[in-house]
Structure 1
Amino acid sequence: MSRNAAGPGVSVVIAAHHAHATIVRAVTSLLAQDWIAWEAVVVSDDGTDYRPTLRNAGIADPRLIFTDTGRIGAGAPAARNAGLVAARQDMVAVLDADDRFRPGRLSTLVPLASDRGAAFDNVAVVRDEDGSPLRSLYGDGRAPAEVDADVFLATSVPMFPVLRRDVAPGWDEDVTFCDDVVFNVRLLDATGPVPLVPEPFYEYRQRAGSITFSADSGERAERCYRHVLDRLAEDGLGISDPGIRERFTRAIAAKRARNAAYEAAFKAGRCANFQEFLSQAGE
């Protein structure tokens, strides 16, 4: 039964680049939600049409909207911004095309985000090949009740909020690889502390061939961190609170050190990707 007879609608933005193998799973996870007031904005960033792939899987839902970046490989920030332009609902969420929402995610987070501006949940990191769990953002009993900039900056697993559209900061298209980090810091700068649900409703899939599995993922991260530090020094990345800007700068320095350790472990063959490295390190 639907749990949102009078609740706000949410636009779920799905950036799709070479995602025909996973898009059905992502959209199916939305169809399983008991919060039915959603639309999925599928943004093609590879010049292909995702409608036939979904139709071949028996999915032809009127809540599906299709748009594109008008480019090939423009990047996730550009695709998400295009999705935000096409979105028609008061609430916004991001779903990566190779990830999935677990049942109950929208019905749990949308009311909280509508009231507080945004809401986060725990994140389950799963190996895509066999569905085995790698880790979660927060273990049993460790999740704080709220997330502010300081709490977020201490994390090392991507976080995917549900948020009101009027506080959505947009994605900086010149910030690649760690664009989600910048987005979330800017969001929390605008909202202040917001609720965190301890249940892992977002399933972050680690898939061979993805960016985090690539041999140059550490180098990509390092380039991103350097660029973010340059932007923080130049224009503050649009972050209004000087204390958050300062703490963000320190956090990036810590992330660079962790990334260097990951690079050494990856080259030595001790881990296959960054999340596996973190699991081995007990973080």
Structure 2
Amino acid sequence: MAEQTVAVVIPAYKAERFIAEAVKSVVAQTHADWHIWVVSDDGADYEALLAHAGLRDRRMHFLSTGQLGAGASRARNLALDQITAPHVAILDADDRLKPDKLARAVAALAEVPIVSSALDVMTDRYEHLRFVGKGPDRRLTPGAYKFVNLSMDSMIVWDRRRCDAHYDLTLTNMTDLELLLQLWRTADVVHHLGTPQHDYLKVSTSMSNGEGFSEKMIASKKTLLERLETGHYSFAAADAAEGLIAFLQLSLAAEAAYPEAMARRPGLLFEDHLEPRLRAYEAAR
């Protein structure tokens, strides 16, 4: 396996509507040294589905959890157990990569072990809603990371030779952030791509719109907060726990106020609800 190979992991659960777009976005990368690992979590034959769409490539690999809805974490771990590539990128089946994402990530990975990306948040018709984390490219400590990447953490690319982990199967939500908490045990900085390199779709049928999602999200945030406050993780960066604790406290306060805010402003994105709280906290420091 070449030194610059990136394995792109795509967990797929009821993903027939969007997965071809996700895979096309990898095929169209300016960095051509990639492998795709599609992990079916619903028994669907995604290899046949993609072949029917004209997407067939020797660099595509197909696995199955053998279950129905075992969860994205279990599906991702299944791929991580088999991947030999030095670099891993996560791509949800209803998202897309911008054409230069892998090229820019691999260039940054020559100096740092983890790369994050600003998001282009879209509707399920690929209509722009807002950007998250847009700005200059910069180096972020773990303590500062969530104040830039205030929502969604599955858009990272990391070098498994310098930091690595598997997804925590005990959590129902926030598993992407928990993975980072593990990676930060040996990685003290993240290179953030401030020009959005990832299309994140707000899909009505996604987990984030399912019944009981808010309660599960709050419970997972509380679990991570408790772990951080009790020293469960050992971090390479000195400020990591303090910044992450502050973020989770602010995020939980925002969760509590979100229903009332939504009643006043129907359709309010949680990002738009949370971000002013984060900026006020930073300004007061």
Corresponding position of 1:3: none
Structure 1 residue runs of 5 or longer lacking an equivalent are: 1-5
In the alignment, is residue 93 of structure 1 matched against residue 86 of structure 2?
Answer: no
Identity %: 27
User: TM-score, normalised on structure 2?
Assistant: 0.86
Structure 2 residue runs of 5 or longer lacking an equivalent are: 280-285
Corresponding position of 1:70: 66
Corresponding position of 1:157: 151
Corresponding position of 2:283: none
Corresponding position of 2:282: none
Q: 1:144 to 1:259 in 2, by over 3 A?
A: farther
How many residue pairs end up in the alignment?
A: 275
Q: CA deviation at 1:123?
A: 1.3
Q: CA deviation at 1:144?
A: 5.5
In the alignment, is residue 138 of structure 1 matched against residue 133 of structure 2?
Answer: yes
Determine the C-alpha separation between the residues in 2 that align with 1:281 and 1:269. Answer: 17
In the alignment, is residue 41 of structure 1 matched against residue 34 of structure 2?
Answer: no
Tell whether the 8 Å contact from 2:184 to 2:235 is kept in structure 1 after alignment.
Answer: no
User: Once the two structures are superposed, what CA deviation does each residue of 1:14-61 show, in whole Å capped at 9, x if it has no partner?
Assistant: 011111111101000011011111000101111222111101101111
Corresponding position of 1:13: 9
Q: Helix, strand or coil for the counterpart of 1:46?
A: coil
User: Once the two structures are superposed, what CA deviation does each residue of 1:97-121 show, in whole Å capped at 9, x if it has no partner?
Assistant: 1000011111111121143212222
Determine the C-alpha separation between the residues in 2 that align with 1:143 and 1:93. Answer: 21
Q: 2:52 aligns with which of 56, 61, 65?
A: 56
Determine the C-alpha separation between the residues in 2 that align with 1:49 and 1:23. Answer: 12
Kindly provide the amino acid, as one letter, of the partner of residue 132 in structure 1: E
Q: Helix, strand or coil for the counterpart of 2:111?
A: helix
In the alignment, is residue 26 of structure 1 matched against residue 22 of structure 2?
Answer: yes
Determine the C-alpha separation between the residues in 1 that align with 2:82 and 2:234. Answer: 23
Q: CA deviation at 1:259?
A: 1.2
Corresponding position of 1:223: 219
User: Once the two structures are superposed, what CA deviation does each residue of 1:169-201 show, in whole Å capped at 9, x if it has no partner?
Assistant: 221111222111122233234211232222111
Aligned-residue Cα RMSD (Å) equals: 2.6
Q: 1:84 to 1:145 in 2, by over 3 A?
A: same
Q: 1:147 aligns with which of 137, 140, 144?
A: 140
Tell whether the 8 Å contact from 1:189 to 1:244 is kept in structure 2 after alignment.
Answer: no
Q: 1:31 to 1:24 in 2, by over 3 A?
A: same
Tell whether the 8 Å contact from 2:22 to 2:95 is kept in structure 1 after alignment.
Answer: yes
Q: 1:145 to 1:234 in 2, by over 3 A?
A: closer
User: TM-score, normalised on structure 1?
Assistant: 0.87
Q: Helix, strand or coil for the counterpart of 1:190?
A: coil
Determine the C-alpha separation between the residues in 2 that align with 1:86 and 1:272. Answer: 40
Q: CA deviation at 1:282?
A: 10
